Amino acid sequence: MKVIVTKSYDETCTVIAEMIRDLIARKPDAKLGLATGGTPVPIYQKLIQMNREGQIDFSQVHTVNLDEYCGIPGTHEQSYRYFMDSNLFDHINIPKANTFVANGMGDFEANAQELEQKVREGGPADFQLLGIGNNGHIAFNEASDHLISVAHVENLTESTINANARFFEKKEDVPTRAITMGMGDILAAKTVVLAATGLAKVPAIKGLIMDDVITTQNPSTLLKLHENAVVVIDKELADAVGYQG
Ligand code: F6R
């Protein structure tokens, strides 16, 4: 696992947007695994800018998102489909048909199977972007005594519901379940890049970069098994976890 320490979160986002730009230059029909949440928003803004400037052509790119809440439709402002459209897809030249976010309505188990099929379709993702939960969750694979390798329906933990309540009017509105890629789906990507910032992430990042332990209680630690995993953090977070390089 490679760790990159940047001067600032803005630089983290530039570094990752440039990785994606360079990948698409090499492979115009690249398959990207994408994330939602607060962390990737500035990365997506940089990708939009690069697309406007003609630095990236998304016309042949395919994307699959990590997860989606159960029980809210894609038209709901807090759904991850809505998030992806409004934060990225509506502003770049990607055909919507090339983008996949699991359906959060109807038969959740069947929707999870459809997500699994999309993960496998056309082979592994060339690049998987990840954030990390305060409890070390990756996508919505929550800290637990066991983890699931394939796409599935997950019950969200209290920690995740509390962290995501900031996006909803009230905590009770946060969905309690989500459809998520499994850990095997994520580890199957050719390159996995995790971005993190903020002191709330200190315990999770400590477990990820400061020792060689793998534990299902911090799902991110499974990235230690990946040959091409990159963690990008800013100096403030690196200092807070005591990372010296
Ligand atoms: C989102 C996702 C989650 C987030 C994580 C961090 O698709 O899979 O694992 O990456 O909850 O969220 P933020 O970036 O809001 O701190």
Residue to mutate, 65, 132, 138, ligand 1, most ligand atoms under 8 Å from C-beta? 132
- Say if residue 76 is exposed, middle or buried (CB neighbours under 10 Å; 0-12, 13-18, 19+): middle
Ligand 1 atom nearest residue 201's Cα: 16
Q: Is 142 considered catalytic here?
A: yes
Residue whose token pair is 């962290």: 163
Residues β-bridged to residue 51? none
- How far is the C-alpha of 240 from the C-alpha of 238, rounded, in Å? 5
Residue of 68, 116, 126, 142 with catalytic role? 142
Please give the mean pLDDT across all residues of the chain. 97
Using one digit for the tens of pLDDT, what is the confidence trace for 198-227?
Answer: 999 999 999 999 999 999 999 999 999 999
Q: Of ligand 1's atoms, which has the minimum distance to the CA of residue 138?
A: 9
From the list 65, 135, 141, 218, the catalytic residue is 135
Residue nearest (by alpha carbon) to ligand 1 atom 8 = 139
For domain 2-237, give the CATH number. Answer: 3.40.50.1360
Report the C-alpha gap between 133 and 1 in whole angstroms: 19
Q: What is the pLDDT of residues 151-179, one digit of tens each?
A: 999 999 998 999 999 999 999 999 999 99
For residue 104, how far is its CA from the centre of ligand 1 (angstroms)? 17
> Which residues line the pocket of ligand 1, CB cutoff 6 A?
35-39, 66-67, 131-133, 137-140
Terminal CA-CA length for the chain: 12
Catalytic residue among 67, 116, 126, 185: 67
The 10s digit of each residue's pLDDT in 62-74 is: 999 999 999 999 9
Q: Which atom of ligand 1 is nearest to the CA of 130?
A: 10
What integer pLDDT is reported at residue 212 of this predicted model?
97
Q: How many whole angstroms from 136 Cα to the centroid of ligand 1?
A: 10
Give the domain ranges of the chain: 2-237
pLDDT tens for each residue of 103-131 = 999 999 999 999 999 999 999 999 999 99
Q: Rounded to an integer, what distance in angstroms lies between the CA atom of residue 242 and that of residue 238?
A: 6
Which band of pLDDT confidence, cut at 50, 70 and 90, is reported for residue 239?
Answer: very high
Residue nearest to atom 2 of ligand 1 (CA): 139
Residue 199 CA to ligand 1 centre (angstroms): 15
Centroid of ligand 1 to alpha carbon of 123 (angstroms): 24
Whole-number Å distance between alpha carbons of 114 and 98: 15
| 135 part of the active site | yes
pLDDT in tens, 42-67: 999 999 999 999 999 999 999 999 99
Which pair of tokens denotes residue 135?
Answer: 């409890």
**pLDDT at residue 245, rounded to an integer:** 84
Alpha-carbon 62 to chain mean position: 15
CA-35 nearest atom, ligand 1: 7
